[in-house]
Amino acid sequence: MARAARAGARGYGSRRRRGGRRRSRRLGPVGIFLVAFLTTLLVGLLAMNAIGTAPASPAPTAATKPAAIARDMTGFDAEHIIDDDVFYDSTTMTAAEVAAFIDTVNAGCQSGIDGTPCLADATFDTEDREASTACPGGYTAATGETAAEIISQVAASCDINPRVLLVLLQKEQGLLTASGLALNESRYQAATGYACPDGQECDSEYAGFFRQVYGAASQFQTYRLDPYGFQVVAGTATQLSYSPNSLCGTGELTVANQATAGLYNYTPYLANAAAADGGDDCTSWGNWNFYGYYRTLFGDPTPSTAD
């Protein structure tokens, strides 16, 4: 800066007076302009250099969440959603496999803003249940059991496929992938939709993850043990509503087997024709979603119909 300023001054020259004294001369307008320009340029370069060498602020980390589960509706038949041999097979997954599955599908989950833990991290206290015809194995209470432990033990006790229970959690409350703002305690309180009639409050007696999973498994076995005691009976034509809204009308179906009858007794609505095109105000997704999620996560639920 100093050298540049002096060079600019010399450009305008100086002369000796008699006696060898220098007489200083003021800068003209052009000189003043050049000095100001060079000063501004240097300050700008210094500022740019300071910005360039300053440590960069870390980029904000995007919140992660589990991957969405797309429904595979290939081969969907409203009258045959799942085989009996699949639905009532409690040996399809070990406890370790259930835990590994939950860890995988729930990966990236963020706890709810109210502190509600993700499914892979949540633990629950369980309760004693005496052996019954629906669940011959009963249940022994414990503290701090994981979702995988509860699902595995309930499946074994009630002779229900643990995959059915996992899909039920997603179908009813989206718990396999619920995360962040979408995750709260109420999802666990009504985890499987058991004792939660449409348009009414859930029965508080069955609130909580353990009671929900055990209650649902027990109910599906009750349907099997008393096949004529409920609305939908395998092999019998039945009129089912398309929606809780009575204005949406009804459709007829004749379900092929007991497992499918149980699903409709649990969720008593028939998906309408619009479901295949994204649905409308009269579409009920319950059993449609069950089939689609099961097929995506575990393969064809109706292998008996495969060519």
Tens digit of pLDDT for each residue in 49-78? Answer: 544 544 555 555 568 999 999 999 999 999
Q: Which residue has the higher pLDDT, 98 or 9?
A: 98
Locate the domains of the chain by residue range.
Answer: 82-225, 227-290
pLDDT by residue (tens digit) across 250-259? 999 999 999 9
Lowest mean pLDDT among 35-39, 93-97, 218-222, 255-259: 35-39
**pLDDT at position 24, please?**
43
The yes-or-no verdict on residue 111 having pLDDT over 80 is yes
Tokens representing residue 276 in the block: 């295949």
Tell me the residue ranges of DSSP E strands in 139-185.
Answer: 145-146
**29 band by pLDDT with thresholds 50, 70 and 90:** low
Neighbours of 153 (CB within 10 A): 22
Which residues partner with 145 through β-bridges? 124
DSSP-derived letter for residue 134 is S
What does each C-alpha distance from 245 to 117, 199, 249, 283 come to in angstroms?
35, 10, 8, 10
Rg (alpha carbons) of the chain, rounded to whole number: 36
- Read off the pLDDT of each residue in 251-271 and give the average, rounded to a whole number: 98
**pLDDT at position 199, please?**
86
Measured in degrees and rounded to the nearest 5, phi and psi for residue 152 equal -65, -45
Q: How far apart are CA 295 and CA 301, in angstroms?
A: 6
**pLDDT at position 80, please?**
98
Half-sphere exposure of 280 (CA within 13 A, CB side): 8
The yes-or-no verdict on residue 150 having pLDDT over 60 is yes
The yes-or-no verdict on residue 121 having pLDDT over 50 is yes
The yes-or-no verdict on residue 40 having pLDDT over 80 is no
- Name the residue among 300, 305, 270, 274 with its Cα closest to residue 74: 300
Q: How far apart are CA 161 and CA 183, in angstroms?
A: 26
Which residues partner with 149 through β-bridges? none
The yes-or-no verdict on residue 137 having pLDDT over 90 is yes
Q: How far apart are CA 195 and CA 11, in angstroms?
A: 96
- H or E element, residue 232: none
What percentage of the chain carries pLDDT values higher than 70? 79
pLDDT by residue (tens digit) across 177-224? 999 999 999 999 999 999 999 889 999 999 999 999 999 999 999 999
**pLDDT at position 17, please?**
38
Which residues partner with 124 through β-bridges? 145
What percentage of the chain carries pLDDT values higher than 90? 78
